[in-house]
Chain A
């Protein structure tokens, strides 16, 4: 199975900060990397697919980059609504689709 490792596991930030989360794959997954946001008690929501493509309706302050084994999710100016847990997911080889362990963004 492809292992996905996110860093950091959690971070503290303030409204207006730029935040970057990193996701590393255990092998080359080209650009088959997706990012989801999950708020407490809610279902995950797709933010970014194919490493850098913004899902419809997602604010442009979110961006994704990377290829191969190193990827990142950036939030250019953190808003109150962005405090949540973020997960990366590889879609290169399945089964299984695998997720990172999550990064909790908190105040």
Chain B
């Protein structure tokens, strides 16, 4: 059974940093790209970043480029998202999602499994 379990969310001041983690199980971790998708309170879904199965390729949304870093550790089957220079509009639930392909931006891909999410609140 595929399971994705996020952790690391919390309250952080504007300009601060945070690292989110997503522990994966039930599938061969390196065979699939992974992404982070966020949802601001009461709002829709926004793709944030994606990474290839072996970690060599990463993609980012313009809103987070240069501030967020996606990475993965195949020794522990864990996906990470390092958030820095945080702003109030980064406040959201952050979901990790498993792709059906090995690369993060292949045409026709989709997210077949999602974690339960972790809340990041940016406020002074």
Q: Which residues of B contact A71 (CB under 8 A)?
A: none
User: How big is the A interface, by class?
Assistant: 20 to 34
Highest count of chain B CB atoms <10 Å: which of A49, A95, A100, A102: A95
Highest count of chain B CB atoms <10 Å: which of A36, A97, A101: A97
In the bound complex, do residue B60 and residue A95 qualify as a contact, i.e. CB atoms below 8 Å apart?
Answer: yes
Within 8 Å of chain A (Cβ to Cβ): is B112? yes
Within 8 Å of chain A (Cβ to Cβ): is B11? no
In the bound complex, do residue A96 and residue B47 qualify as a contact, i.e. CB atoms below 8 Å apart?
Answer: yes
Q: Which of A59-107 contact B (CB under 8 A)?
A: 87, 89, 91-102
If the complex has contacts A43-B114, A43-B115, A44-B114, are A92 and B107 also in contact, measured as CB distance less than 8 A?
Answer: yes
Which residue of B37, B108, B112, B117 contacts A50 across the interface (Cβ within 8 Å)?
A: B108
In the bound complex, do residue A98 and residue B47 qualify as a contact, i.e. CB atoms below 8 Å apart?
Answer: yes
In the complex, the chain B residue whose C-beta lies closest to that of A55 is B112
Q: Which residues of B contact A89 (CB under 8 A)?
A: 45, 110
User: How big is the B interface, by class?
Assistant: 20 to 34
In the complex, the chain B residue whose C-beta lies closest to that of A102 is B44
In the bound complex, do residue B44 and residue A87 qualify as a contact, i.e. CB atoms below 8 Å apart?
Answer: yes
Q: Which residues of A contact B109 (CB under 8 A)?
A: 91, 97
Q: Which of B66-124 contact A (CB under 8 A)?
A: 95, 100, 104-105, 107-112, 114-117
Measured CB to CB, the residues of B under 8 A from A are 35, 37, 44-47, 50, 59-62, 95, 100, 104-105, 107-112, 114-117
Measured CB to CB, the residues of A under 8 A from B are 32, 34, 36, 38, 42-46, 49-50, 55, 87, 89, 91-102
